[in-house]
Amino acid sequence: MKITADTIDRFFYQFLDTGRKPVFQRDEIIQYIIARTDAGKDDFDRIERNVDMLLQGDSGLLYDVEKASVARRSALFSGARFRIVPTVLELQNNVLIPGDRFAPFCNSEVFPDEYMLFGQGSRKQFEIVPFSASFGSIIPIHTFLGRSGIYDLVVAESEENRRRLHAAHNPIQTAVEISAFDLSDFYLKNHFRFGDAVIVTVEDWGACKFSLEYRPKEIAPSKSEMFDWIAAFEEALLRVCDLYEDFFEIPEQFAYGFFFARENGHNLLNEPVVSAEEYYLNMTDITIHTDTPEWYLVSADSVRQAGSDDSSCEHDRDDHPCTCNHDHDDHPCTCGHDHNHAPVMKPGQEPKSGEVVPGLSGSDFSVSTGKIDSLDAILADVNAPIGTTELFAMVLDSIGNSVSFEAFRASILDRIDQDFADDAQEVAFLNFLEENWEYGEEIYRPSADADKMPYRTRLLDLDEQRIEFSKQLLSSNNQARLQEITPKLRHFHKSLIETLALLNTDDELPDGEEREQLSARIDDLEDLWDDIALDSEV
């Protein structure tokens, strides 16, 4: 039989269709094709090249180009088991969000709202329901999808999500709607608590069909088991990073990591020891490259070497300041150092006020008696004198004036001057505050902000005067005066916020008539404030 590209393709897929082994060698395919054709020595190179292209282009396969071994994903991941520890956000809303947890274990061509999830031994499928939350609150569950992957998933859920994120001054606080499994009956039946886990089994890789079972926290894996699992996984991931560099995104790197670990004698797919979130918090030899929209895993050593003159890092996390000014409980540090600013909590130890518990975002605290689901909700709940628009303006003002995050945080807590409902609400607030700071750093451009800064400073000065005036007014306990002045203050505050919002973007300040209108608007606000202050002796 004559050797053509079509002939090679036909026998290539015939081999895949008739084979049953989860892992086989590349040469087995080549020999299969040769045995069924009239291939001569001159045809061998061509067959090799075509087979290599087919192996690398087939999404149903994992191809180890170094060892020339191949894994059928449908067979490799059949029966695979992985661990998920639902977050407080999920437990409070009786859902399980697919997030980044399922992605390495199933067909990437299937969208999460088409996943099928059953209770173990049950034919009843858990319903997929729409779930609304702030964009920032769902990011920790989607970290390993990367920045562009998270965004793509959310906007693919609905056109309304795309519209909201594009229109938002601060996308972190923007409400979005995503698909989630309704586990209300499952949680109720098992008296589910925070720290309990579910073990998910892959029933059908191609159809993205899964089953789950309950696992109470009392029988969670030990620390030594977790560290051994991570060591074996990262040994495999280091080879993935070395072999394929930035060619794959993280879920694909994970899939190859499980394959390579199996080749190393560690069948981690049968050992559901570490959840995705737990791995993120305990990454040691691997970190995430976040300098591009498509995030990918890299060797932590390579990042350290790139970020230090002596190609080594001997800094302690307590005495080495983070050069990117971010909180690395939510994403990795690109300078290559360990910046887990959160304290390591001992068994039974409670977090002190202001400390961030490792692995928990602002929405992951169920013990608070106050509201914690958004920054707006917290500010309103504690009767703070400022809202999110003013707060983000303060973020940009501080960044523009080279103020450190620590100094900014202290000034905001002083400005609010209110008691939080409890430590959990304060921790949630501080997490949201850091998210706003990080977003401000991402969008801040000195060239674009140079013209806006003087206007913002004037508005923030006015706002500070409003706050001090309001405190004095309230302390006077003059009800008649309060009733008279409050409507004027509300009107002034509303106008001030609307004006500040115009400056809370990375857009250039327009020239000509629009800039003159903005300047005139601020002049009017200053005049209005002078009138309020002069007419209202406290």
State the angle between helix axes of 479-501 and 513-535 in degrees (0 to 180), rounded to the nearest 10. 170
- For the record, the structure tokens of 109 come out as 């061509």
How many C-alpha atoms does 78 have within 13 Å on its Cβ side? 12
Interval 98-107 mean pLDDT: 96
The whole-angstrom separation of Cα 97 and Cα 165 is 20
How do residues 175-227 score in pLDDT, each as one tens digit?
999 999 999 999 999 999 989 999 999 999 999 999 999 999 999 999 999 99
Q: Which residues, in sequence order, are bridge partners of residue 95?
A: 182
* Contact of 400 with 444, CB cutoff 8 Å: yes
How do residues 53-82 score in pLDDT, each as one tens digit?
999 889 999 999 999 999 999 999 999 999
Q: Which helix (H) or strand (E) holds 236?
A: helix 223-244
If you average pLDDT over each of 290-294, 306-310, 338-342, 451-455, which comes out highest?
451-455
Strand order in the sheet with 23-25: 23-25, 69-72, 61-64
pTM value is 0.59
Rounded to 5 degrees, φ, ψ at 387 are -115, -175
**Torsion of the alpha carbons at 280, 92, 200 and 348, rounded to the nearest 10:** 60
pLDDT of 535 reads 65
Chain centroid to CA 369: how far? Answer: 26
The whole-angstrom separation of Cα 152 and Cα 463 is 38
* Contact of 325 with 406, CB cutoff 8 Å: no
Among 211, 141, 160, 532, CA closest to 364? 141
Say which DSSP state 349 is in.
P
Among 241, 247, 363, CA closest to 297? 241
pLDDT of 373 reads 65
Among 61, 371, 337, CA closest to 206? 61
Amino acid letter at 11?
F
Percent of the chain whose pLDDT exceeds 70: 86
Which residue reads 């393709």 in tokens? 9
* Contact of 393 with 411, CB cutoff 8 Å: no
- For the record, the structure tokens of 47 come out as 């067959």
Amino acid letter at 473?
L
Q: Which residues, in sequence order, are bridge partners of residue 125?
A: 118
If you average pLDDT over each of 43-52, 255-264, 402-411, which comes out highest?
255-264
Rounded to 5 degrees, φ, ψ at 242 are -70, -40
* Contact of 416 with 430, CB cutoff 8 Å: no
For the ranges 261-270, 285-294, 496-505, the lowest mean pLDDT is seen at 285-294
The whole-angstrom separation of Cα 224 and Cα 3 is 55
Residue with more model confidence, 108 or 325: 108
How do residues 437-459 score in pLDDT, each as one tens digit?
988 998 888 888 888 899 999 99
CB atoms within 10 A of CB 28: 15
- For the record, the structure tokens of 305 come out as 């070497």
What sign does the dihedral 464-470-471-473 (CA atoms) show?
positive
Helix (H, G, I), strand (E, B) or coil at 360: coil
What Cα–Cα distance (Å) separates residue 242 from each residue in 136, 211, 237, 367, 446?
Answer: 32, 34, 8, 44, 37
